[in-house]
Structure 1
Amino acid sequence: MTVLRISLRSFFAHKGRMVLSGMAIVLSVAFVCGTLVFTGTLNSTFDRFFGSLTSDVRVAPVAEEHAQETGRPDTIAADVADRVRAVDGVAAADGQVMTEHLTLVDAGGEQIDGSGGPTFGADWGPAIQRSMDLAEGRAPSGPGEALLDADTAERQGVAIGDRLDIVAVPGRVTVEVTGLASFRDTNPGAAFVLLDPAAAAERLLGAADEISTVEVVAADGVSDDELRERIVAALGDGYDVETRAEGEQALRDEVGFLGVVRYAMLGFAGIAVLVGIFLIVNTFSMLVAQRTREIGLMRAIGSSRRQVNRSVLTEALLLGVVGSVLGIGAGIGLAVGLMALMDAAGVTMDTSRLTVTAAVPVAGLAVGVVTTLVAAWLPARRAGRVSPMAALREAGTPGDGRAGRVRAALGLLLSGAGAAALVAAANSDEASGGSALLGLGLLATLVGAVVVAPLLASVVVRAVSAVVLRAFGPVGRMAGRNALRNPRRTGATAGALMIGLALVGGLGVVGSSVVASASDQLDRSVGADFIVDSSSSQAFTPDAVRAVRETPGLGHVTELTSVSVELTTADGGSSAQELVAADPTYADDLRTETLSGELAAAYEPDHLSVPESFATEHGLAVGDELTARFVGGETVPLTLAAITSEDTVLDQGAMYLALDTARAHLPAERMPSTTTLFATADDGAEDAAYAALQESLREFPMYEVNNQADYKQLLEDEIGALLNIVYGLLALAIVVAILGVVNTLTLSVVERTREIGLMRAIGLSRRQLRRMIRLESVVIAVFGAVLGLGLGLAWGVTAQRVLALEGFDVLEIPWPTLLTVLAASAVVGLVAALLPAFRAGRLPVLRAIAT
């Protein structure tokens, strides 16, 4: 109890000094808890949505293994609903038409779609009416009428009476919006257009006697599993029959980004927690140093080492509990803010259904309390080792030279091992092995840099001081010496900033190298002037292909798709493969290097090409015969015409054959639709052809026309957007690191109060004092930035060498970005020192000397 009273008294006596450490805990716990609440609410929103779309039992077309993706919706006969309806235990069985192989276009030619979700076309029948209600207007009553979901209508500004075009595989149809339908539960962001049941099958599927699924409602007392078995027995093979639970899980699996978002955000939260540990270690180390005499008095009157240790850890426990509780509340607020942002982006999330499970406070307390106790353990142990006489004799913790030497040796050993792993990764011959070595090297160099940072501080800080502080005269020299006074403290403070900036630097190098490599590949390999592809999952309709082919000013147009086959080689090996089926002109549009044979010959009837790895694995040579079973079509022999190099990013590992070969061996209804178009302009007519091609596809806004410059910019924008998200998430770790700089300087000012008073007494002005503290902060921040960016460069260059094994062989270092980050670090140091410098300048001289 005595230890607890002492800890409470000390905690509240130094509560001002604990604030910034507490803020680090609050931010770290808030990110963890906010992630859990946000992703939990996101998951529950989608779960409710999936539940509203699924029935007790669903009968769908059979899901074939390695099925041929045709770009058209899979269907079953409409009379299957009658057969299911006759099964014992079925309360209702309704055929449903539903597909996402379509695009909505408004009267102005703009695409209407879900806010990040797909666009569905369905019939306004009994099945969909179990989850949606008619909110306004009237139901569609003919082939030229449709409903639109109310969320999409509001978001896209569509009103009852407006006319929309539905572009689907069967063709283009214009409909009038007669009403708006709304989900009984939250719709996360999908768009729904609902047609008259009599017209839906023909307009959306292309066959009046076909449906997408049979949605079954079980009678009372009949379980889903039991009803499923009865339906399977009644229908036989050829159908995929699944229960509600299976259907919901299948939908969850299709939305795989939910898990990625959760673990990515938790990963960045972990980085923030790691950075927070540095701050807490520094805080308690300095507090223990400032309370050395107090600890000595406690030891002199009978306190044991264990009691002193327990006293410090009790303070840490109090800090961890208070910070965690505040962090849990802040995390819930953060989740609400993220939901508001998602809602503004069009992904509907209902804040009234916030999902806060028991795991949220448990995780928050675990992260905050355990992190704080772990971080405070070393200072607590150090406090317990202070002898009473040494503590009473001096106001500072005695240095441990031996521990410093061991730390330096361990840091150098880890850094050397990590550097060796990075070198081995850069020289690896296999991407998988190189990736493993890269991960090992990254971890070892990070830990090594953290451990050896005090040793590096004495070298780097001197160099930085010579370059940055020389212009500030004696004040600058004092700032540099202050930063070097306690290298361990400087290293820990800079180490927190180092982690975030190392990741920024490494990812910046990787992102720039990927963009540069892809651009280089485009310049060297793509001979086509234009690439036309879909901005959604919809394949090209025949009308769109025809519009492109009829565009004036084009020398040739190449259609491309993918066909599924099972290849059998002479050695008896058999494997499922996706072959690129294209017009012969694709050999000019994408210049793929061949190691043997001629690629143009692969586009001759019943010929193909294979990549080097496949040929090596099966011992193939040009002229060999392979047996190809086209999924849904014929089994035929194909002659190997070329073996291609895999030293590329574009179409790496692809197998090629002619479109005419695929058409000859596949029924028309199983032939995949075109997925990409390439086009080349007549000589000297590139600009005119570009404008004409865009005009030809004006009525098809889901297809994008890109020349090579557009494609490069698109790639750069996508990589840049991804990096910006990552940098935004890393900003939390950098904010915590800044708090560490502020806290270190604040406690340092307290520690040096008498020294500051003496300097003021002998003539140092307030302005000079504040400048000295600001410069000290700048040096620490720049030291962390130099260390972090140096690590990031090493990581990024090594990662690029590993990626070079996958074809990304251009190293691009974003020097402007790195130099901007370095300059920004100096500004961060300047800003972080404003409050400590202001407080130091306000210290009364005589009171400071008497402290």
Structure 2
Amino acid sequence: MTKVTLRNLTAHKLRLALTALSVVLGVAMVAGTFIFTDSMSKQFDDLFAGIGKNVAVDVRAKQAVQSGSDEQVSSRPPVPAALADELRKVEGVKDVVGNVGGYAAVIGKNGKTVATLGPPQMGMNWVNGGDYDIQSGRAPQGPSEVAIDEATMKKAGYGLGDRARILLQGPTQTMTVVGVIKTGNMMGATVTAFDTATAQRLLLKPGYFNDIQLVSSGVGETVLRDRVARTLPGDVEAITGSALRDELKDDIQQLLSFLQVLLLVFGLIAVFVGAFIIFNTFSMLVAQRTRELALLRAIGASRRQVTRAVMGEALGVGIVGSTIGLLAGVGLAAGLQALMSDGSEGSTGLTFTVTPVIWSYAVGVTITLISAYFPSRRAAKIAPVAAMRDDVALPQRSLRRRAGIGSALTVLGAGLVVAGIADAGPEPLLLLGIGVGMVFIGVAVLAPILSKPVIRVLGGVFPRLFGTPGRLARENALRNPRRTAATASALMIGLALVSAINVVNSSAVASIGRSVDRQFGADYMIISETQGGFSPDAIKAVGQAPGVDQATAMYVGNINVNGKRASVLSGDMAGITEGAKLKMLSGSTDLGADGLLVDEDTAKSNDYKVGSTLPAQFTDGARQQLRVAGIYEKNDVIGSRLLSEQAYLAHTAKPLAFMGMVQVATPGTASKQAVEGALRDYPNLQVQDRSEVKESFQKQLDQVVVFFTILLAMSIIIAAVGVINTLALSVVERTREIGLLRAVGVSRRQLRRMIRLESVVIAVFGALLGIGIGVALGAAVQNGLADQGLDILKIPVVTLVVYVVLGGVIGMLAALWPAWRAGRMDVLKAIATE
């Protein structure tokens, strides 16, 4: 049977190559993901091995409040520079280095920032003998000098002695470039260095360091840490240099793990789609070789041997597809690495481990074998007597059983989707993923039942428009509903996910737009292109511009309330009340030094009343009793808590605004230009009116949609390959039929049109299935997130119609080669085919 398997593999090279392509594309994403993340992890390990390599102990303030994703400034307060003198006295300390760090980017000669978002834009104080060396020039000295890393210098177009503009969270500084820093591979990050006093003034706070690092004179880092810890005040801690480097690595590993999971999800979706193609291909191959398999049974082959023969073919396809997919994954990883590094020099190349190899073959071979198992079982059930029949067809089970199984899977999957969206259970995302997968399988099982009425409707106009070819195309699509459904189901999955994303996006845009209209009362909003917020001095400058009635800086951060982290917003209450259309339900907006406002949902869930007192702890470690001064109507602009500006500023070392709201006497072009003129020293800030705010949100959401659509494109491409494969096999299967059609007068053009129309109707059916599931899934997500601001369901009808048309185009393109091949058949040979 091994010889039979090898003969069949070599006899059907083209068919099995198309099947292997489905494996290749899915495995490429899986392999590429592992190679890329392994390579990035290795590069970061090499990078961190050089950062703080001589540090034995790091001294820093204790973190009283855990950081949050919505926090604009570090939750760890700075330490006084005077502490460094005390640390020098500790036995075993050889050297003491105070570090200052913060945001600093470089504005190039073209007037554009080298980078604003993405890789870190690091400002720091220059320390001789620190993590980096001067490649040329000298170290910065004085308030007007700066050193910049070599990659950023090239991008910005600067040289030694040039005057460079440095973008900070405060006003932009123009400084002389006196040194070029050698950093090696920073993967797109920029490094800008100042002398210590200048760095403290620009990035942190005069007289303070972010942390103080100690170099040992030979004492072990654990021993030195313990000695240092005994001399520190209660709000400062000491950790070993190893622990510091591990923390840095852990932060990066968390990001890489998230990226790995994200890419793997889409890779597995592509593999899942490929499984439908493999199943369909082997089902058709088994059906076409019914007599051959029956002859094997007739000459003594057992059912097990027949099953092994078909599974052997699947194993060959899986191995070849996985091998090519692994090689393609190398190219994909290289592309991702180039994209992430943003062209920076010093890349260490790709890192190869055994992990992508194992996963590539495990995924590719396993999915192929599972997909081919049921066709192989059907092959084994062919009776030997079938070899004596001229026309042999595999027995088909009743569709009633399919209806029951498909309905059960769909309903159960929908229940898991609802549970996942409702955040029920310990792993809601896992529930959601399993539920979506079960819905796809359930609908795929039901698809043969759905295909008949839908294709009759879709193909109903074909006879009128295209005559006999149109009628034949419709009947061919109806002839084998299982095959039609399996082909359409592959296309269904990708378009379902894309459609769901578009429904959620449209609903989010509509919900945000209504929130802005209802709750945004300011004439203009000021936002930053940079990370971490901006100096409130910018808002003060706007407040002095002609025609400006009020300019309010809004701060965001985290505090502990009753021992739990809570996000808070702060700022001038008069400006916030007007700019955010704050509607009070009870209490007052007079917060004083200890006031806190909460929205109605927070008050209800925590049983807060006006006058309630809450124990709070701030990021600087200070504790204070906060007073609930009032309760307001839910407001998406503000969030759930408003903290007294006086309290926020008193406990924040370097307050940074995350947004500004501006009220003017007469809104219009002149007033906007006046506000923009006041911000000429802050090129990273944008001024937006209400319509521009909504447009900005829409652009951000659209970028997310494009990103996910690109990741899902692989599954759609695999589905298109599946349509090609199905039609190609169908042409082979119907060789004699095609010859007879040609013999009775059907022209080559009509024959090709028939195959193209058949492909189009199958593809459109798959697109309609996918869009239907996508709309239902998107509506479920919107409903589950209605209480979190996604309170409008909007179906993007035009976009979905475009997807239906896209499905038809995919079907048309997929049919080109099979139709061309059918048209070239020799009539007499085709008729003589058995």
Unmatched 5+ residue regions in structure 2? Answer: none
2:23 counterpart letter in structure 1: I
Once the two structures are superposed, what CA deviation does each residue of 1:385-414 show, in whole Å capped at 9, x if it has no partner? 111112431454422334x43222211233
CA contact (8 A) 1:505 1:792 kept: yes
Q: Give the deviation of 1:174 after TM superposition.
A: 3.4
Q: Give the deviation of 1:814 after TM superposition.
A: 1.1
Of residues 651, 661, 665, the one that matches 2:638 is 651
Identical-residue share of aligned pairs (%): 38
CA–CA separation in structure 2 for the residues paired with 1:763 and 1:339: 57
CA contact (8 A) 2:594 2:625 kept: yes
Q: Give the deviation of 1:614 after TM superposition.
A: 3.3
CA contact (8 A) 2:462 2:471 kept: no
- Residue aligning to 1:361: 357
Residue 100 of structure 1 aligns to a residue whose secondary structure is: strand
Distance 1:579 1:649, change over 3 A: closer
Match status 1:828 vs 2:813: no
Distance 1:750 1:110, change over 3 A: closer
Computed over aligned residues only, the root mean square deviation of the Cα atoms, in angstroms, reads 3.0
- Residue aligning to 2:750: 768
- Residue aligning to 2:658: 675
2:821 counterpart letter in structure 1: R
- Residue aligning to 2:245: 248
CA contact (8 A) 1:770 1:838 kept: yes
CA–CA separation in structure 2 for the residues paired with 1:215 and 1:632: 20
Match status 1:728 vs 2:710: yes
Q: Give the deviation of 1:736 after TM superposition.
A: 0.5
Match status 1:686 vs 2:668: yes
Q: Give the deviation of 1:485 after TM superposition.
A: 1.2
CA–CA separation in structure 1 for the residues paired with 2:815 and 2:697: 40
How do 1:751-762 residues align onto structure 2 when only pairs under 5 Å count?
751-762=733-744
Distance 1:480 1:102, change over 3 A: same
CA–CA separation in structure 2 for the residues paired with 1:548 and 1:768: 71
Match status 1:147 vs 2:147: yes
CA–CA separation in structure 2 for the residues paired with 1:435 and 1:201: 44
CA–CA separation in structure 2 for the residues paired with 1:563 and 1:421: 35
- Residue aligning to 2:127: 125
CA–CA separation in structure 2 for the residues paired with 1:429 and 1:309: 44
CA–CA separation in structure 1 for the residues paired with 2:349 and 2:420: 48
My pick for the range that moved more, 785-794 or 442-451, is 442-451
Q: Give the deviation of 1:325 after TM superposition.
A: 1.1
Q: Give the deviation of 1:326 after TM superposition.
A: 1.3
Distance 1:126 1:545, change over 3 A: same
CA contact (8 A) 1:103 1:702 kept: no
CA–CA separation in structure 2 for the residues paired with 1:420 and 1:239: 50
Distance 1:188 1:244, change over 3 A: farther
CA contact (8 A) 1:308 1:380 kept: yes
Residue 701 of structure 1 aligns to a residue whose secondary structure is: coil
Distance 1:150 1:709, change over 3 A: same
Residue 493 of structure 2 aligns to a residue whose secondary structure is: helix
Match status 1:97 vs 2:92: no
CA–CA separation in structure 2 for the residues paired with 1:843 and 1:758: 11
Residue 186 of structure 1 aligns to a residue whose secondary structure is: coil
Distance 1:407 1:160, change over 3 A: same
2:772 counterpart letter in structure 1: G
CA–CA separation in structure 2 for the residues paired with 1:529 and 1:537: 24
Aligned length: 826
Distance 1:508 1:347, change over 3 A: farther
My pick for the range that moved more, 301-310 or 259-268, is 259-268
Match status 1:582 vs 2:585: no
Q: Give the deviation of 1:808 after TM superposition.
A: 1.3
How do 1:426-825 residues align onto structure 2 when only pairs under 5 Å count?
442-468=436-462, 470-562=464-556, 564-567=558-561, 575-583=564-572, 584-594=574-584, 596-597=585-586, 601-603=589-591, 606-626=594-614, 632=620, 638-646=626-634, 648-652=635-639, 654-660=640-646, 662=648, 666=650, 670=653, 672-682=655-665, 684-825=666-807
Q: Give the deviation of 1:420 after TM superposition.
A: 6.6
My pick for the range that moved more, 474-483 or 439-448, is 439-448
Residue 353 of structure 1 aligns to a residue whose secondary structure is: coil
CA–CA separation in structure 1 for the residues paired with 2:420 and 2:564: 31
- Residue aligning to 1:263: 261
Match status 1:410 vs 2:409: no
CA contact (8 A) 1:511 1:723 kept: yes
Distance 1:223 1:307, change over 3 A: farther
2:636 counterpart letter in structure 1: V
Residue 265 of structure 1 aligns to a residue whose secondary structure is: helix
Residue 788 of structure 2 aligns to a residue whose secondary structure is: coil
CA–CA separation in structure 2 for the residues paired with 1:624 and 1:114: 43
1:118 counterpart letter in structure 2: P
Distance 1:348 1:807, change over 3 A: farther
CA contact (8 A) 2:146 2:194 kept: yes
Q: Give the deviation of 1:356 after TM superposition.
A: 1.0
1:737 counterpart letter in structure 2: A
Distance 1:321 1:163, change over 3 A: same
Q: Give the deviation of 1:534 after TM superposition.
A: 2.2
Q: Give the deviation of 1:447 after TM superposition.
A: 1.9
CA contact (8 A) 2:107 2:165 kept: yes
CA–CA separation in structure 2 for the residues paired with 1:190 and 1:606: 41
Match status 1:388 vs 2:402: no
- Residue aligning to 1:331: 329
Q: Give the deviation of 1:249 after TM superposition.
A: 3.3
- Residue aligning to 1:137: 137
CA contact (8 A) 1:540 1:675 kept: yes
- Residue aligning to 1:570: none
Once the two structures are superposed, what CA deviation does each residue of 1:679-736 show, in whole Å capped at 9, x if it has no partner? 1111x34321111111111211122222111111111111111110100010000000
CA contact (8 A) 2:108 2:155 kept: no
CA contact (8 A) 1:155 1:346 kept: no
Q: Give the deviation of 1:76 after TM superposition.
A: 2.9
2:603 counterpart letter in structure 1: A
Distance 1:628 1:844, change over 3 A: closer
Q: Give the deviation of 1:99 after TM superposition.
A: 1.0
CA–CA separation in structure 1 for the residues paired with 2:124 and 2:18: 56
1:75 counterpart letter in structure 2: P
1:406 counterpart letter in structure 2: R
How do 1:176-191 residues align onto structure 2 when only pairs under 5 Å count?
176-183=176-183, 185-191=184-190
Distance 1:837 1:620, change over 3 A: same
2:122 counterpart letter in structure 1: F
Q: Give the deviation of 1:367 after TM superposition.
A: 1.1
Distance 1:48 1:704, change over 3 A: farther
My pick for the range that moved more, 738-747 or 233-242, is 233-242
CA contact (8 A) 2:66 2:565 kept: no
CA–CA separation in structure 2 for the residues paired with 1:171 and 1:721: 30
My pick for the range that moved more, 684-693 or 453-462, is 684-693
CA–CA separation in structure 1 for the residues paired with 2:474 and 2:688: 55
My pick for the range that moved more, 159-168 or 377-386, is 159-168
Of residues 24, 41, 44, the one that matches 1:43 is 41
Once the two structures are superposed, what CA deviation does each residue of 1:751-796 show, in whole Å capped at 9, x if it has no partner? 1111111111111111111110011100110010011101111111
Residue 176 of structure 2 aligns to a residue whose secondary structure is: strand
- Residue aligning to 2:274: 276
Q: Give the deviation of 1:30 after TM superposition.
A: 1.0
CA–CA separation in structure 1 for the residues paired with 2:599 and 2:79: 38
Once the two structures are superposed, what CA deviation does each residue of 1:408-452 show, in whole Å capped at 9, x if it has no partner? 2211233344557778999x8999999898667534432210111
Tell me the TM-score normalized by structure 1: 0.90
Q: Give the deviation of 1:127 after TM superposition.
A: 4.4
Residue 805 of structure 1 aligns to a residue whose secondary structure is: helix
Unmatched 5+ residue regions in structure 1? Answer: 568-572
CA–CA separation in structure 2 for the residues paired with 1:620 and 1:215: 44
1:389 counterpart letter in structure 2: V
Q: Give the deviation of 1:186 after TM superposition.
A: 0.9
1:60 counterpart letter in structure 2: V
My pick for the range that moved more, 606-615 or 760-769, is 606-615
1:304 counterpart letter in structure 2: S
CA–CA separation in structure 2 for the residues paired with 1:94 and 1:287: 74
Once the two structures are superposed, what CA deviation does each residue of 1:78-128 show, in whole Å capped at 9, x if it has no partner? 4544555555555x4341433114454467764444672222222332343
